[in-house]
Amino acid sequence: MYVGRFAPSPTGPLHAGSLVAALASWLDARSCGGQWLVRIEDVDTPRCSATAAQTILAQLAACGLAWDGDVLWQSARGQRYQRALTALLQRGLAYPCGCTRRDIAAALAAQGRQHERHGERPYPGTCREGLNGKPARTWRFHTKKYMENRASALMQQALPAIFLMNEHLLHWQDRRLGAQRQDVAREVGDFILRRADGLWAYQLAVVVDDGEQGVTDVVRGEDLADNTPRQMLLQAALGLPTPRYLHLPLVRAADGEKLSKQQGAPAIDVSRPLLALAQAAAALGLPAAPETSTPPDALAFWRAAWPHFYNRAP
């Protein structure tokens, strides 16, 4: 059975770009009679607010995007994330790290590596063999070790038909972007599972939550496609199924930058839900609903049209 989800971070209300993701994931689920869940990704508690979360839920309801079951709140799930981290530590697939950003930059410079991907430096593995007297600041996934042990029974069980690896590259298939690949060990390194401030990293939380909720399909913006290989590795390492992925085109401002709350993107106007939904549908390339449509009529129209625009095959 199809299970999809919309998982906003409540750092502000929904804007035009986030409504596109909400509408697309809702249409993908409803067009095949599947479930659509809502998860509030408020694990980054200093940046999130309960007020913003309630605003988002009210905006979804005003647009007719009804969800199934109870809303899941990441801020209440720390014990689940700790169990996952403990399981990885026990298998030698995670370790504590004492490095600061300055330490990482110095280690990369010593290796002659200056490249930064999206402002993030790939971790060079300094603490893999121990902290050398430094206090633990973060906990990291042992990407290199896991890639080297890719032929384990767990990997063989988790990988077929979803993604493939050789010694260096992880290959996967996106429903819109097509064939993708990433050298996770070199481009990302051993990524963070728990941050220096004690908060849980997005990569671990989203994998645990998707697994527990039985999510079969993830529909989200293409700016998150770069995260997918890390999440696939964690899914396999934790014995969780890998969903199908569909990464959507981004809604951009006049200057070409992605619309975001950080850059002050305005909230959608829920007093005119049909207009907001029509703009989101247009951004997805869907046809215009009949002029006499109500919001429920328009949603039904786009639900019927959806399979012709976004194939569900992996």
Nearest-10 Cα torsion for 247, 193, 200, 154: 70
Segment 175-203 shows an average pLDDT of 94
For residue 108, the model assigns a pLDDT of: 85
For residue 109, the model assigns a pLDDT of: 84
Segment 134-141 shows an average pLDDT of 94
- DSSP output for the chain: --EEEE----SS--BHHHHHHHHHHHHHHHTTT-EEEEEE---STTT--HHHHHHHHHHHHHTT---SSPPEEGGG-HHHHHHHHHHHHHTTSEEEE---HHHHHHHHHHTT----BTTBPPB--TTTT--TTPPP-EEEE-HHHHHHTTTSHHHHHH-TTTEEE-SS-EEEEETTTEEEEE-HHHHTBS-EEE-TTSPBPHHHHHHHHHHHHT--EEEEEGGGGGGHHHHHHHHHHTTPPPPEEEEEPPPB-TTSPBP-TTTTPPBP-TTSHHHHHHHHHHHTTPPPPPTT--HHHHHHHHHHHHHHHS----
Q: And the tokens for 73? A: 């709140």
Query: Which of residues 115 and 268 earns the better pLDDT score?
Result: 268
- Residue 40, CA atoms < 13 Å, CB-side half-sphere: 26
- Give CA–CA dist 37/138, Å, rounded: 31
Nearest Cα to Cα of residue 185 among 146, 214, 223 = 146
Reported confidence tier of residue 252, pLDDT bands at 50, 70, 90: low
Strand partners, 179: 173
**pLDDT digits over 26-47, tens only?**
999 999 999 999 999 999 999 9
Query: Hey, where are the domains in the chain?
Result: 3-76+251-309, 79-194
For residue 148, the model assigns a pLDDT of: 79
- For the entire predicted model, the pTM comes to 0.89
Segment 279-304 shows an average pLDDT of 95
**pLDDT digits over 76-119, tens only?**
999 999 999 999 999 999 999 999 989 888 888 887 776 555 55
Alpha carbon distance, N-terminus to C-terminus of the chain: 15
Q: Does the structure show a pLDDT above 90 at 204?
A: yes
Q: Does the structure show a pLDDT above 80 at 262?
A: no
Domain 3-76+251-309 is classified in which CATH homologous superfamily? Answer: HUPs (3.40.50.620)
Segment 153-171 shows an average pLDDT of 58
CATH of the domain spanning 79-194: 3.90.800.10
Strand order in the sheet with 170-174: 163-165, 170-174, 178-182
Query: Which of residues 107 and 288 earns the better pLDDT score?
Result: 288
Which percentage of the chain shows pLDDT scores above 90?
A: 68
